Amino acid sequence: MRFMSNQVIHKTVVVGSLQCNCAILICPKTLEAIIIDPGDEAEKIISHLDPGVTVKYLLHTHAHFDHIGGTAGVKLATHGMICLHQADEMIYKQLPMQGRMFGMEFKDAPPVEKFIEDNEELYFGEQKLEVLHTPGHSPGSVCFRLHGGEERVFSGDTLFRQSVGRSDLWGGDSSLLIRSIKSRLMTLDDELRVYPGHGPATRIGEEKRKNPFLS
Ligand SMILES: [Zn+2]
Ligand SMILES: [Zn+2]
């Protein structure tokens, strides 16, 4: 499977009881890939990886169970490097406790292998992804901005279409959440596509006009 264009291959796999949008991004030239938020149903995620695809990073927008519940299984199958912002490590280490609060059973998540930082650039094949630290939904919440070609941003549970993430869970902060969105996301280009951690995609300009939490 080789593609002439340099346009990234983007697959969305909806996983788990909370319907987390897991994103698979593949560089068409090198078939090097990243997976964002392998939240559950590891086997379903893995089934979307064609032969020849190698997974470089397992990235997490934050450490709530619905975004990290499938990390152990996907790690075993792909050996991608587990990445998280350090401010969410405490929550990451509490996966079994998080599950119990929501009536689900999880084993401990495998250790984080790389702490990602604000403005850090991550490469897979010829593709570049930038880390934007956007605390508020959780202390270590980040968004990922894909550069080049058709740019897009993966907003986790920070920004949804016409809504924002909740801030009543561990370390959440509602005023910080709104500040993060306004300073780091609403300053981006209006045409930029946004892929939230749950629900449909949107654009920055549409959220500027229609998101009731940002007026
Ligand atoms: Zn969350
Ligand atoms: Zn979520």
Q: What confidence tens digit (pLDDT) does each residue in 151-179 have? A: 999 999 999 999 999 999 889 999 999 99
For the CA of 142, the nearest ligand: 1
Distance (Å) from CA 98 to ligand 2 centroid: 12
On whether the pTM is more than 0.85, the answer is yes
**Res 4: pLDDT:** 54
Q: List the chain domain ranges.
A: 9-214
Mean pLDDT of the chain: 96
**Res 170: pLDDT:** 87
For the CA of 165, the nearest ligand: 1
Distance (Å) from CA 183 to ligand 2 centroid: 22
Distance (Å) from CA 60 to ligand 1 centroid: 10
For the CA of 166, the nearest ligand: 1
Of residues 28, 126, 113, the one with CA closest to residue 78: 113
More confident residue, 26 or 7: 26
**Res 115: pLDDT:** 98
CATH superfamily of 9-214: Ribonuclease Z/Hydroxyacylglutathione hydrolase-like (3.60.15.10)
What would the two tokens of residue 180 be? 């993060």
For the CA of 17, the nearest ligand: 2
Dist. CA 149–CA 136, nearest whole Å: 30
The DSSP line for the chain is ---SS-PPEEEEEEETTTTEEEEEEE-TTT-EEEEE---S-HHHHHTTS-TT-EEEEEE-S---HHHHTTHHHHHHHH-PEEEE-GGGHHHHTTHHHHHHHTT---PPPPPP-EE--TT-EEEETTEEEEEEE-TTSSTT-EEEEEESSS-EEEEETTEETTEE----STT--HHHHHHHIIIIITTS-TT-EEEESSS--EEHHHHHHH-GGG-
**Res 148: pLDDT:** 85
Distance (Å) from CA 134 to ligand 1 centroid: 13
- pLDDT, one tens digit per residue, over 70-97 is 999 999 999 999 999 999 999 999 999 9
